[in-house]
Structure 1
Amino acid sequence: MSGRRQDEYQLFDTPGPRGRRRILLATVLSAGLLAALLALALWQFERHGQLAAGQWRMFTEWPIIRFLLDGVEKTLLVTAVAAGLALPLGASVALVRLSRNRPARALARCYAELFRAVPLLLLLYAFLFGLPRAGLTFPVFWQLVIPIVLGNAAVFSEIFRAGVLALDRGQSEAAHSLGMTYWQAMAWVVIPQAVRRLVPTLVSQLVRLLKDSTLGYVVSYLELLHKAQVLGEYYHTVLPTYLVAAACFVLINTALSTLAGRLERRG
């Protein structure tokens, strides 16, 4: 890439010597402040006995490990099922919003705007308390999954729509010139190219979907965080148990980010 080509994509000027010194100083101060806060937190935990070996010994026992692993499994199950439903639903809503049918386009827009605006917790309460009064009762698993699907599908629809609009219109025009219908062009030409560009954004939303599963306590679904809460309160080891649960979430999110990086490089 030539120097002129690089300048077209440069968002800000390269800092000079004084600017680099200021950036380095700000970085060092920020790192020092974070280290001091971490040391203070660890000192407070040690004062209250939260870092004592007895608080952590329980995590070497297989029944405790199995109890938490069952929570991990249920969290991954909710995430996989919700993602498997929300992704195609979101793509369908995006395609309808991009269609030439005005009534369908208006309905798709209303769906996206409504479920992006309504908090997920409110949807969960609607499925837990509202729908049973109308005679609609779902199993606990679906009381958690369906609201997650409805909320995330609305977000996915906006992601897909933005990705399609960002593509060169020549792609769809070329597909139409080959005799493809609108839906065929979208399914075979436009959407696959848009998805390749949207992999990082889609994975970021999947991470958010994973974190949405932690609201399982609302419907008494024993996912990882709810199991950590039950375990910590029973053994009076709330902090260590939550830290172990947080470590599990970090590992899962890291795996998702790694997978996203590989898919992006292959694309």
Structure 2
Amino acid sequence: MSTSSVLYDHPGPRARARNTVLSVIFGIGLLALLYWIYSKFDEANQWEAWLWKPFTQSTTWTQFILPGLWATLKAASVGMLLSLAFGIVFAFGRLSDHWWIRVPAGAVVEFFRAVPLLLMIFFIFYGLPWIIKQPVTAFWAVVIGLTLYNGSVLAEAFRAGIRAVPGGQSEAAYAIGMRKNQVMRIILLPQAARAMLPIIVSQLVVLLKDTALGYIVAYPELLQRGVNDLAANYGNIIPAAMVMAVIYIIINSLLTWFAGWLDQRSRVRAFRVPRQTAPSGSADSTPEGGATVAEPQG
């Protein structure tokens, strides 16, 4: 019996019929849930035209939504870059052969994974100035909090990915004279990043959504500007929340699509075999017996 037949059997007629019935039942249930939500909002007069009219005006987008979107993307972009760097550095630290590097790196990662992100942002903004004797802006409070928390989670993801790479590759790299830092950077990390890409992307999506926690320090991100400030002027908090949710879904979908495209491109380049041509006149340029092999056309 082949491995594919053990892992997966194609459904038979009864299984296909059962799956069709379950799909229809689930679809009807989903439509019923959506209609119930619609009717409840309709009872609360949340579909009134005047509540949605502000979103057809350019001033709503230029004064509230677009500035909040820019603040969200700016904090998320900087936080993503710093989180990836933090994760790589501390993943290497946790895999170090020296206990005086491995133990502190593990303590830092475990500590920042355990502290709630909201509390971390709050402390950085209000508590850190008492230590460094300098004020911390809301932007950097959000970015540093996102970096410490998400970087710690990514450090564990990178560490798991590096350990999942077959040990024979490290042994082969050491056999040709590579040092450990070269093995990590050139051999293990690229493969670990490719294998752990779904987890990395999921964490980056979480990071982008967590920028909304910047409201605790009055950071003017998308949720703050697009819901709180907008609703304070127009009194349409539910429609505003729906529009902001759609914007978040679009941004996260684009991020997921980009990660999938990047993963596919990296796999194609990884498995591409370079074409080698023998020099003219060499013994390997023609097969044995002197016959030539015509290259396929087209």
Output the TM-score relative to the length of structure 1. 0.92
Contact 2:121/2:214, CA 8 A, preserved across alignment:
no
Matches within 5 A, 1:194-233: 194-228=192-226, 229-233=228-232
- More divergent stretch after superposition (87-96 vs 38-47): 38-47
3-state SS, counterpart of residue 50 of structure 1: coil
Contact 1:232/1:242, CA 8 A, preserved across alignment:
no
Aligned equivalent of 1:44, options 40, 43, 47:
40
What residue number does 2:270 align with?
none
What residue number does 2:80 align with?
83
Give the deviation of 1:18 after TM superposition. Answer: 4.0
Matches within 5 A, 1:163-202: 163-202=161-200
CA distance in 1 between partners of 2:127 and 2:17 (Å): 59
Pair 143,51 (structure 1): closer, same or farther in 2 beyond 3 Å? same
CA distance in 1 between partners of 2:79 and 2:150 (Å): 9
Give the deviation of 1:126 after TM superposition. Answer: 1.3
What per-residue deviation string (whole Å, max 9, x for no partner) do you get for residues 221-240 of structure 1? 01001112210132101011
Does residue 29 of structure 1 match 2:25? yes
Contact 1:90/1:153, CA 8 A, preserved across alignment:
yes
CA distance in 2 between partners of 1:74 and 1:182 (Å): 40
Give the deviation of 1:188 after TM superposition. Answer: 1.4
Unaligned runs of 5+ in 1: none
What per-residue deviation string (whole Å, max 9, x for no partner) do you get for residues 10-46 of structure 1? 2x65555444444333332222222111111112222
Task: Give identity over the alignment, percent.
Answer: 39
What residue number does 1:95 align with?
92
What residue number does 1:124 align with?
121
3-state SS, counterpart of residue 41 of structure 1: helix
Aligned letter for 2:129? P
Aligned letter for 1:120? L
Aligned equivalent of 1:71, options 59, 68, 71:
68
Give the deviation of 1:127 after TM superposition. Answer: 1.4
What residue number does 2:260 align with?
261
Q: Whose Rg is larger?
A: 2
Matches within 5 A, 1:146-161: 146-161=144-159
What per-residue deviation string (whole Å, max 9, x for no partner) do you get for residues 191-231 of structure 1? 11211222222111110000110101011001001112210
Output the TM-score relative to the length of structure 2. 0.83
Give the deviation of 1:84 after TM superposition. Answer: 0.7
CA distance in 1 between partners of 2:119 and 2:24 (Å): 43
What per-residue deviation string (whole Å, max 9, x for no partner) do you get for residues 127-179 of structure 1? 13322333353111101110110000100001101111111112222222222
CA distance in 2 between partners of 1:142 and 1:241 (Å): 27
